[in-house]
């Protein structure tokens, strides 16, 4: 596959490299988490306004942020789960994606702040995602949401948690699934893991191995489909939209999931963006491929609305 770095992506990576030049590696996860949130300020400038942002709490004390559309309700809702290797990341670092989906599709987005590893390893984050969906089912109507139209979505490790929730048998049928470069397998010897192992395009294989160890210290991922969803029996899943980044160690996870969904008879759309790296989707201020991909994701949501109209 073509490996030339997209020009916009190269500009974004150079900007971030210049920002971090001279900084020592984060002393610990708390510092890494804080740096990530601080770095989001640049990428979040000039984002579209949403009608309202509400805060709620799901069972178990899971903090929720509800980004509301200005379209009259009851609104279909995307439960969006941020990435970050189950250990870092935050809602604020994903506001470009969240706000774009809301304003382009007319759907409302509900984003949980789930518990992070290693303080809270598997299955804590997964339990929080399931609790978030249940909150929509039990309380969504009171907040202008349509509990019958829920799409589960996520990026990276967030896509892992979202797909695990969808196949867990804990939830009623969903309206759709929407995943951005997810962690779906636990095989670190795929072609993309080996090709981009050194981290020259950002996410390194060793970093992913470290994140797996933080989230799954018991080493259950080799056989547990709630940690490695590619092992799951997909059965009657709803329409699914997938995005793969061409220069990402996780690229082949998405390609493998796409093939398995086709085999299972699940309606699935794959979007492949060459020349971009892991995490590109929230870099739309510079990276046009991110804007194009988010527009396509919003179109998928709009198509689900039309089918259920």
pTM of the model: 0.97
Q: 7-21+50-307 in CATH: which number?
A: 3.40.50.1820
Token pair for residue 98? 């969240």
Q: CB burial class (10 A; 0-12, 13-18, 19+) of residue 108?
A: buried
Side-chain half-sphere CA neighbours of 191 within 13 A = 9
Compute the mean pLDDT over every residue in the chain, rounded to the nearest whole number: 96
pLDDT in tens, 45-96: 999 999 999 999 999 999 999 999 999 889 999 999 999 999 999 999 999 9
Q: Binning pLDDT at 50, 70 and 90, where does residue 144 land?
A: very high
**Backbone angles phi and psi of 112, in degrees to 5:** -85, 150
Mind telling me the catalytic residues? 156, 248, 278
Q: Who wins on pLDDT, 264 or 172?
A: 264
Whether the predicted pLDDT of 2 surpasses 70: no
- For the chain, which residues make up each domain, given as ranges? 7-21+50-307
């Amino acid at each position: 596959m073509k490996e030339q770095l997209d020009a916009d992506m190269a500009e974004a990576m150079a900007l971030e490299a210049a920002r971090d030049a001279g900084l020592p590696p984060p002393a610990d996860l708390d510092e890494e988490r804080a740096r990530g949130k601080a770095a989001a300020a640049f990428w979040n400038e000039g984002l579209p306004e949403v009608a309202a942002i509400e805060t709620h709490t799901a069972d178990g004390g899971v903090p929720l942020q509800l980004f509301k559309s200005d379209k009259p309700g009851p609104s279909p809702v995307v439960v969006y789960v941020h990435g970050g290797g189950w250990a870092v990341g935050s809602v604020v670092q994903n506001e470009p994606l969240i706000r774009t989906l809301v304003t382009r599709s007319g759907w409302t987005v509900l984003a949980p702040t789930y518990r992070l590893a290693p303080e809270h390893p598997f299955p804590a984050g997964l339990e929080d995602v399931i609790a978030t969906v249940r909150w929509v089912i039990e309380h969504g109507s009171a907040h202008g949401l349509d509990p019958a139209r829920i799409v589960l979505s996520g990026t990276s490790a967030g896509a892992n948690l979202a797909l695990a929730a969808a196949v867990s048998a804990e939830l009623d049928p969903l309206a759709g699934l929407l995943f951005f470069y997810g962690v779906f397998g636990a095989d670190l010897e795929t072609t993309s893991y080996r090709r981009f192992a050194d981290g020259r395009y950002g996410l390194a294989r060793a970093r992913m191995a470290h994140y797996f160890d933080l989230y799954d210290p018991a080493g259950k991922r080799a056989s547990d489909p709630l940690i490695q969803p590619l092992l799951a029996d997909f059965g009657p899943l709803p329409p699914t939209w997938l995005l793969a980044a061409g220069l990402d160690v996780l690229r082949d996870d998405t390609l493998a999931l796409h093939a398995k969904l086709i085999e299972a008879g699940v309606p699935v759309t794959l979007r492949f963006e060459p020349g971009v790296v892991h995490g590109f989707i929230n870099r739309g201020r510079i990276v046009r491929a991110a804007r194009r991909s988010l527009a396509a994701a919003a179109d998928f949501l709009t198509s689900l609305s039309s089918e259920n109209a």
